[in-house]
Amino acid sequence: MDSQAFEALSADTLPVRLGGNTAVTDRIGEDSSRWTIREVGDGNLNLVFIVTGEKGAVIVKQALPYVRLVGESWPLPLKRSFFEYHALTRQARRDPGMVPEVFFFDETQAIIVMEFLTPHVILRRALIDGRPLPRVGRDLGLFVARTLFRGSDLSMVTREKKADVALFCDNVELCDITENLVFSDPYFEATLNRHTTPQLDPLVAELRSDRDLKVEAQRLKHIFSAKAETLCHGDLHTGSVMVTENETRVIDPEFAFYGPISFDVGMLIANFWMSYFSQAGHETAPGARDEMRLYLLETIETLWDTFRSEFAHLWRTERRGILYQASLFEYRQDPLAAEQALNIVIDEIWSEMLGFAGIEIHRRILGLAHNADFETIADPERRASCESKALKLGRHLAVNRQRIHSLRDIRATVERLEMEIIA
Amino acid sequence: MDSQAFEALSADTLPVRLGGNTAVTDRIGEDSSRWTIREVGDGNLNLVFIVTGEKGAVIVKQALPYVRLVGESWPLPLKRSFFEYHALTRQARRDPGMVPEVFFFDETQAIIVMEFLTPHVILRRALIDGRPLPRVGRDLGLFVARTLFRGSDLSMVTREKKADVALFCDNVELCDITENLVFSDPYFEATLNRHTTPQLDPLVAELRSDRDLKVEAQRLKHIFSAKAETLCHGDLHTGSVMVTENETRVIDPEFAFYGPISFDVGMLIANFWMSYFSQAGHETAPGARDEMRLYLLETIETLWDTFRSEFAHLWRTERRGILYQASLFEYRQDPLAAEQALNIVIDEIWSEMLGFAGIEIHRRILGLAHNADFETIADPERRASCESKALKLGRHLAVNRQRIHSLRDIRATVERLEMEIIA
């Protein structure tokens, strides 16, 4: 057998295959016979091992040549590991300390060895458990502002940005998943779809015949596919965030692509709104999760406000790319022109972000890849009740995104939906 | 000397170097001693030879490693020839018969041998001479609709489109020219700028301190740099069009890049508006060019109407890409949803197109690359009068592009500017 050919790791073969790798042994110890290996991949796509030795532990993540969630019938290229590696190194430069440190990358084996985050838990899990994390709004707001601003023509040397666009264009299969599963499948009876049935059937039928919604979903797909504005994480939901009380880290950027600045922001915020509506499915008594709900709405506001402030700060201090050049504004004694342009740019990010948020909510309830916030609500009646409110918010956001002007307004709508004052 | 190294052609060396090339000899005859060679490159960048033999003639176009207009101090890579070749072959497929046929391409020597168009003249020249060409509005409207629709995610297999985006990302130096010379330099005192002075000085100062205009120019640059919607010609002005009474052909797509659908359309239409305002500089008596002016305004309307109708036709019959899929609309018995989306898409192309048109007008009068329409008006007073009206239209379009709803309205503004009723 060609020693270079891809071979999936197993707990048995891992010590043999990585036992001589100093990137690993330097961190966890050389005696691989004493390593303990635990496979913890709970995502949809990959193998993930925690490898623990005498000195410490590392994560070994390996892509598989198919979608793990579905099986070998859905092939998916190993090169997504290459894009994850390149996204991680760029994000580490753009917002230091916010992504796991990479120790080793093997392109052929699609293996990334990286920092083991402990005692971190997945943010989504914490939110389901009703555990508020005080830092995530601010940390994630800074992360999206910094990575998205610094990866764009507002900041980069345009030659390097274009070369990077070309590099990431090849992540076509992962973009294809988003294009289909996020923007199209939820809006018709696609084979891979599922939803809580029969409870949601009437609402699903209504949404699938909602002309304005479907047109808007496709406009957003158009923006997703054509607006190569910055390097996006591409799959930034609460399952891609690991947290402690004191630290927030962002993982799993294998869907990375050049897309609109608004995309990551909208996907992320959508997951907090879904968490909000899922709380009723997890609370042990009515009102038991009221504080958690308040926390979630405030986190959304903190996240967006932090994004906006940090983006504006970078705009004023690091705008060295080809767009909105200081030579036309500040250097001509017209700094207000740069402020005017900033407002226009933020305004567009805002309305697109709301659209992407709406669509993300829909696909998590109507499409293939559901999320644990709702899935762990065992009673289908109760789950459907939560999901139905979220679906309605999603429709409201996607269709009215250019007419909604503040999170305060959305908060009022969200709270009225939750109380079933409106539907 | 390495026989593969680039060497600029000359009339003397051309027969030796291409004498054995069957792509050439098949068309013009084998006896290269009887070829006549005429260098006719009047553009800003390249060598262009008409090579005539016993049997016929071909065009031999060779890129130079610098900007011809400026000299060796401004290097420019030969690979632009590669992009021209690839753009020509794609355009030929997307709108057959509208671009010169390519017979031979040598990447190292940056040589394209192509069809010699005769008795065609450059459209810009014909318009300066006051010669109306009846077909250009319709032919060019079809050309932009077909090439831009068929090069986008509305039509292409997305994997092929992404690979092509990656390919053309490397045309970075030519995009850089547009980014600087079109969108930024005209709006401050950049070194390469020139304008009719002192006559235009007060208006130029006004435009360069016009905050709304400069912000809008940079928004359009943002759209230019980020919206990789389709393969654009990239330099589609009336100097890139060759015409007879019966035929229209589009040449010189070396600036080809993936950009907004609106870009080529706006650049092109701008050149007709400039021709309109330049007529007063060429007419031998007041009113002598009235028919020409009427022709130009009607050509603009025909061009846009044809673009819109053909785009809509392709939307209804060839929309097989990933965007606005029939599976969501027509196949769900909701063809009106597809019409709704079409209106939204056209509306966005329209307002962007007006912006690009406005900016194109400015850069041709304030920047480095002026056009012959105005340049051939010898009297600076008369030239400045024409240019000043065009500049004002450009500002009006760029700043108000989202508030202007029809060419009829613009026509009224254009005619009032021409009559100096408004200024």
Q: Mind telling me how many Å the CA of A47 is from chain B's nearest CA?
A: 26
Structure confidence at residue A42 (pLDDT): 72
Residues in chain A within 8 Å Cβ distance of B166: 165-167, 169-170
d(CA B253, CA B231): 10
Q: Which secondary-structure segment (H or E) carries B231?
A: strand B230-232
Place of tokens 């509506």: A277
Name the average pLDDT for chain A. 96
Residues B296 and B251 in one domain: yes
Q: Tell whether B2 is covered by a domain.
A: no
Please tell me the number of Cα atoms within 13 Å of B375 on its side-chain side: 12
Q: Tell whether A309 is covered by a domain.
A: yes
Q: Tell whether B92 is covered by a domain.
A: yes
d(CA B226, CA A87): 19
Residues A95 and A153 in one domain: no
Q: Tell whether A8 is covered by a domain.
A: no
Q: What is the CATH number of the domain that holds B62?
A: 3.30.200.20
Residue B287 carries which side chain, given as an amino acid letter?
A: G
- CB contact (8 A) between residue B158 and residue A172: yes
Structure confidence at residue A2 (pLDDT): 46
Q: Check: CB of residue A195 under 8 Å from CB of residue A366.
A: yes
Residues B372 and B340 in one domain: yes
Please provide residue A250's backbone torsions phi and psi, each rounded to the nearest 5 degrees. -110, 130
Structure confidence at residue A374 (pLDDT): 98
d(CA A380, CA A368): 17
Q: Tell whether B328 is covered by a domain.
A: yes
Q: What is the CA radius of gyration of chain A?
A: 22
- CB contact (8 A) between residue A328 and residue B214: yes
Q: Tell whether B4 is covered by a domain.
A: no
Q: Check: CB of residue B195 under 8 Å from CB of residue B204.
A: yes
User: Beta strand pairing status for A257-259 and A241-243?
Assistant: unpaired
Residues B101 and B126 in one domain: no
Residues A102 and A176 in one domain: no
Which one-letter DSSP state was computed for residue B181? Answer: I
The residue among B83, B149, B157, B162 with the most chain A CBs within 10 A of its CB, best to mutate, is B162
Residue spans of beta strands (DSSP E) within A152-268: 230-232, 241-243, 248-250, 257-259
Above 70 in pLDDT, residue A397? yes
CA–CA–CA angle A180, A181, A185 (5° rounding): 75
Report the number of distinct structural domains present in chain B: 2
Q: Check: CB of residue B205 under 8 Å from CB of residue B213.
A: no
Determine contact: B340 vs chain A, CB below 8 A.
Answer: yes
Residues B64 and B126 in one domain: no
Residues A104 and A150 in one domain: no
Q: Check: CB of residue A94 under 8 Å from CB of residue A144.
A: no
Cα dihedral across residues B140, B142, B148, B151: positive or negative: negative
pLDDT in tens, chain B (423 residues): 445 799 999 999 999 999 999 999 999 999 999 999 999 987 678 999 999 999 999 999 999 999 887 888 889 999 999 999 999 999 999 999 999 999 999 999 999 999 999 999 999 999 999 999 999 999 999 999 999 999 999 999 999 999 999 999 999 999 999 999 999 999 999 999 999 999 999 999 999 999 999 999 999 999 999 999 999 999 999 999 999 999 999 999 999 999 999 999 999 999 999 999 999 999 999 999 999 999 999 999 999 999 999 999 999 999 999 999 999 999 999 999 999 999 999 999 999 999 999 999 999 999 999 999 999 999 999 999 999 999 999 999 999 999 999 999 999 999 999 999 887
Q: What is the ipTM of this complex?
A: 0.95
- CB contact (8 A) between residue A344 and residue B215: yes
Per the DSSP assignment, residues forming a β-bridge with A112 are A61, A105
Neighbours of A408 (CB within 10 A): 8
- CB contact (8 A) between residue B340 and residue A211: yes
Determine contact: B40 vs chain A, CB below 8 A.
Answer: no
Single out the residue in B75, B95, B115 at which a domain terminates. B115
Residues B291 and B412 in one domain: yes
Residues B170 and B222 in one domain: yes
Q: At what angle do helices B290-317 and B136-150 cross, to 10 degrees?
A: 30
Determine contact: A172 vs chain B, CB below 8 A.
Answer: yes
Residues B368 and B274 in one domain: yes
A218: nearest CB among B212, B229, B324: B324
What pTM, to 2 d.p., does this model score?
0.96
Residues B128 and B25 in one domain: no
Cα dihedral across residues B250, B256, B260, B266: positive or negative: negative
The residue among A172, A227, A328 with the most chain B CBs within 10 A of its CB, best to mutate, is A328
Question: Collapsing DSSP states into helix, strand and coil, what is residue A216?
Answer: helix
Residue A89, domain extent? 14-115
d(CA A36, CA A50): 8
Q: Tell whether B7 is covered by a domain.
A: no
Single out the residue in B95, B115, B135 at which a domain terminates. B115
- CB contact (8 A) between residue B159 and residue A172: yes
Determine contact: A165 vs chain B, CB below 8 A.
Answer: yes
Residues A338 and A375 in one domain: yes
Please provide residue A251's backbone torsions phi and psi, each rounded to the nearest 5 degrees. -120, 175
Residues in chain B within 8 Å Cβ distance of A169: 162-163, 165-166, 169
B225: nearest CB among A214, A218, A322: A322
Q: Mind telling me how many Å the CA of A1 is from chain B's nearest CA?
A: 32
Above 70 in pLDDT, residue A276? yes
d(CA A296, CA A123): 12
Above 90 in pLDDT, residue A67? no
Residue spans of beta strands (DSSP E) within B53-144: 57-63, 66-67, 71-75, 102-106, 111-115, 121-122
> What is the pLDDT confidence band of residue A278, given thresholds at 50, 70 and 90?
very high
- CB contact (8 A) between residue A179 and residue B322: yes
Single out the residue in B90, B115, B140 at which a domain terminates. B115
d(CA B240, CA A159): 27
Q: Check: CB of residue A126 under 8 Å from CB of residue A247.
A: no
Comparing C-alpha atoms, which of B133, B148, B143 is closest to residue B247? B133
Determine contact: A184 vs chain B, CB below 8 A.
Answer: yes
d(CA A391, CA A195): 11
